[in-house]
Structure 1
Amino acid sequence: MLTAMTMSVAAATPLLSGTPADAAPNRPGDLLYIGTWGQGLVYAVRFDPDRGTMTSLGSVAQVSSNWLVTHPTRPILYVAGGEQGGYIRAFHMDDASGALRQLDEITVEAVPTGSGGLSYIGLTGKADALLVADFAAGTAVTVPVGQGGGLRAVASTVQDVGSGPSPRQTGPHPHHVIIDPSRRYALVADFGADRVFVYDYDQATQRMSAGTPDGPGFHATAPGSGPRRLAFHPDGRTLYLLNELTADIEVLGWDATHGVMTTRQVLSTNAADHTGTTSAAELAISRDGRHVYTSNRGENALVVFSTHPATGLLTERQRIPCAGVTPWSFALHPGGRWLFVANEASGSVNLFSVDRATGRLTDTGTSVAVPYPDCIAFRTREQGPGTGPS
Structure 2
Amino acid sequence: MAPPMRFFSLLLAIPASADILFATSYNDHTVTSLRLEGSTLSVVGKNLDCGSEPTWLTLDKTKSRLYCLNEGWGGNASLTSYQTRADGKLTTLDILPVLKSPVSSTLWGANNERLAVAHYDTSTFSSYDVSNAKDLRLTKSETYTLAAPGPVPDRQEAPHLHDAILDPTRKFLVSPDLGADLLRLYRITGNSWTAITPAKAVPGSGPRHGGFAVHGPNTYFYTVNELSNTITGYKVTYSGSSISFAQILNFSTHGPGGSVPAGTSSAELEISPDQRFVLISSRNEASLTIPAFDGSATTIPSDPIISFAINPASGQLTLTQIAPAGGLNPRGFSLNKAGTLVASALQNDNRVVVYKRDVKTGKLGAVVASATVGEGANNGPNYVLFNDC
| TM-score range normalised by the length of the shorter chain | 0.7 to 0.9
Q: Does 1:169 align with 2:156?
A: yes
Name the CA distance, whole Å, in 1 between partners of 2:282 and 2:55.
19
Counterpart AA for 2:57:
L
Corresponding position of 1:233? 213
Per-residue deviation, 1:136: 2.0
Corresponding position of 2:98? 108
Corresponding position of 1:192? 179
Name the CA distance, whole Å, in 1 between partners of 2:78 and 2:334.
23
Q: Does 1:208 align with 2:167?
A: no
Corresponding position of 1:79? 68
Name the CA distance, whole Å, in 2 between partners of 1:231 and 1:273.
23
Paired residues of 1:35 and 1:374 also in contact (CA < 8 A): yes
Per-residue deviation, 1:289: 1.5
Q: Does 1:282 align with 2:268?
A: yes
Deviations 1:307-344 (A, max 9, x none): 11212210101111212001111000112110001111
Paired residues of 2:95 and 2:136 also in contact (CA < 8 A): no
Paired residues of 1:157 and 1:208 also in contact (CA < 8 A): no
Counterpart AA for 1:145:
V
Per-residue deviation, 1:350: 0.9
Q: Does 1:127 align with 2:144?
A: no
User: TM-score, normalising length from structure 1?
Assistant: 0.81
Paired residues of 1:71 and 1:149 also in contact (CA < 8 A): no
Corresponding position of 1:94? 85
Name the CA distance, whole Å, in 2 between partners of 1:302 and 1:310.
25
Counterpart AA for 1:165:
P
Corresponding residue SS for 2:334: strand
Listed as ranges, the gaps of 5+ residues in structure 1 are 1-15, 110-115, 211-215, 384-390
Name the CA distance, whole Å, in 1 between partners of 2:18 and 2:47.
17
Listed as ranges, the gaps of 5+ residues in structure 2 are 1-6, 286-302, 375-379
Worse-matched range after superposition: 148-157 or 170-179:
148-157
Name the CA distance, whole Å, in 1 between partners of 2:243 and 2:101.
28
Q: Does 1:353 align with 2:335?
A: no
Corresponding residue SS for 2:331: strand
Counterpart AA for 1:160:
Y
User: TM-score, normalising length from structure 2?
Assistant: 0.81
Q: Kindly tell me: are residues 79 and 103 of structure 1, through their superposed partners in 2, closer, same or farther at Cα, counting changes over 3 Å?
A: same
Paired residues of 2:49 and 2:80 also in contact (CA < 8 A): no
Counterpart AA for 1:71:
D
Deviations 1:84-108 (A, max 9, x none): 5541011222323x33221112233
- Identity within the alignment, %: 26
Name the CA distance, whole Å, in 2 between partners of 1:369 and 1:237.
39
Counterpart AA for 2:246:
T
Higher strand share: 2
Corresponding residue SS for 2:138: coil
Worse-matched range after superposition: 53-62 or 281-290:
53-62
Q: Kindly tell me: are residues 71 and 245 of structure 1, through their superposed partners in 2, closer, same or farther at Cα, counting changes over 3 Å?
A: same
Name the CA distance, whole Å, in 2 between partners of 1:363 and 1:28.
17
Paired residues of 1:246 and 1:278 also in contact (CA < 8 A): no
Q: Kindly tell me: are residues 28 and 316 of structure 1, through their superposed partners in 2, closer, same or farther at Cα, counting changes over 3 Å?
A: closer
Corresponding position of 1:386? none
Q: Does 1:291 align with 2:280?
A: no
Paired residues of 1:342 and 1:374 also in contact (CA < 8 A): yes
CA RMSD of aligned residues (A): 2.4
Counterpart AA for 2:219:
R
Corresponding position of 1:373? 381
Corresponding position of 1:137? 122
